[in-house]
Structure 1
Amino acid sequence: MAQIRIRNTNERISDEAEVKAFLDKQNVVYEHWDINKLADPLREKYILSDEEKAQILETYDAEIRDLAGRRGYEIWDVISLSDSTPNIEELLKKFEQVHTHTEDEIRAIVSGQGIFIIKAEGEIGYFDVELEAGDVISVPENVNHFFTLMENRQIVAVRLFIEKDGWVAYNVDDPNFTKA
């Protein structure tokens, strides 16, 4: 289950209802998928063939189509990142730049862990949403944010897009952002 850390105060929110309430106030969609649906051989596997990615998409087809129907997504794929990913450091540099999108950025975590760093409304500043398998999050369009890996540096996630070009970021130079 997701946990939140407010960067300005280092306050942590870990109660599921409180996490959901906090994210709702920020217009961040937070849901949970049943990770037990995933076949055992695919759990905690971070180097995936195209066939294995297709199997993940098939496993969560109903959930994906439900989200797509509610929110207008047109395409989806699976991304897998780990220290075995070619050019992982260059990819992380690209992801770890504060940016926005012209559509919401949604990820359904299938394996591993990751963090979305999101700029809150009002005086809260930036907050971290620490995600694990089963967590589904959607950062609203035009909200400053970025994504990075946690210490284990492994994640598999389903990504959904409205734009046919997929992930298109617009970097933002925010003087209020400081790396933690």
Structure 2
Amino acid sequence: MTLLTVWPESGPEETLVRTSDPEEIATTLKEHGVRFSRWSVVDGVTAENALRAYEDEIARVSETEGYGYVDAMEMTPADTDEYRAKAVEFRNRFLAEHTHDDDEDRYFARGAGVFYLHIGDKVYAVLCTAGDLLSVPANTTHWFDMGTRPDYVSVRFFHDDDGWIGNFTGSDIATRFPTFDELVSAAGSGM
């Protein structure tokens, strides 16, 4: 279930907004230049077939936003040392607040992840699930959590093939908010 939760930047003690309504999510995020939309989900998608499966949607976004490079990434849980090491490395890479010089557009073809957008004096946690496309504008402070057992296929859009370079703020704000695992657990319990 896609979920938007908004808190004051001071911490999650007070919830300002909590909604799973896609229209309300899109409207709330649009006020800050963040694009959110939903695509139909294709069953059985992998990193190898995602670009073909979503060819029309990818072409439309690439043309509209001027993206020149698109790829697909996959994390599938496995009980191996290689998966565990890769999961820790990938998760830790973006858990601290940072910005990018380019937009960060990601479509979740399978699985989930949470983008935390620190905009003004609020934090917008967007729990993205299969079918969600989120575009974080360049220079927006944010962090991303894929959980302790990442499981997703995502399509990533780039203006050039250098990808995203994180410009880390040095802030510890990310440590004060619920993690992916905590948000998913709370969403499942109806909180």
* Both structures adopt the same fold (TM-score exceeding 0.5): yes
- Tell whether the 8 Å contact from 1:105 to 1:140 is kept in structure 2 after alignment: yes
Which residue among 31, 41, 49 is the counterpart of 1:55?
Answer: 49
CA distance in 2, matches of 1:70, 1:96: 29
Q: Percent identity?
A: 27
Secondary structure of 1:53's counterpart equals coil
Q: Does 1:34 align with 2:40?
A: yes
CA distance in 1, matches of 2:148, 2:50: 24
Deviations 1:137-176 (A, max 9, x none): 0001001111111476311100010122112111112365
1:115 alignment partner in structure 2: 114
Structure 1 segments of 4+ aligned residues over 6 angstroms from their partners:
none
Query: What is the TM-score of this pair, normalised by structure 1?
Result: 0.83
Stretches of structure 2 lacking an aligned partner (at least 5 in a row) = 9-13, 178-191
Secondary structure of 1:117's counterpart equals strand
1:146 alignment partner in structure 2: 143
- Tell whether the 8 Å contact from 1:82 to 1:88 is kept in structure 2 after alignment: no
Query: What is the TM-score of this pair, normalised by structure 2?
Result: 0.79
Stretches of structure 1 lacking an aligned partner (at least 5 in a row) = 43-51
CA distance in 1, matches of 2:111, 2:172: 31
1:130 alignment partner in structure 2: 127
Deviations 1:72-131 (A, max 9, x none): 11111111124433521022111212111111101000001110011123x3x2120001
CA distance in 1, matches of 2:148, 2:171: 25
Q: Does 1:22 align with 2:28?
A: yes
Q: Does 1:6 align with 2:33?
A: no
Q: Does 1:79 align with 2:79?
A: no
**Cα 1:94–1:27 shift into 2, 3 Å:** same
Question: Over aligned residue pairs, what C-alpha RMSD do you find?
Answer: 1.9
- Equivalent pairs counted in the alignment come to 166
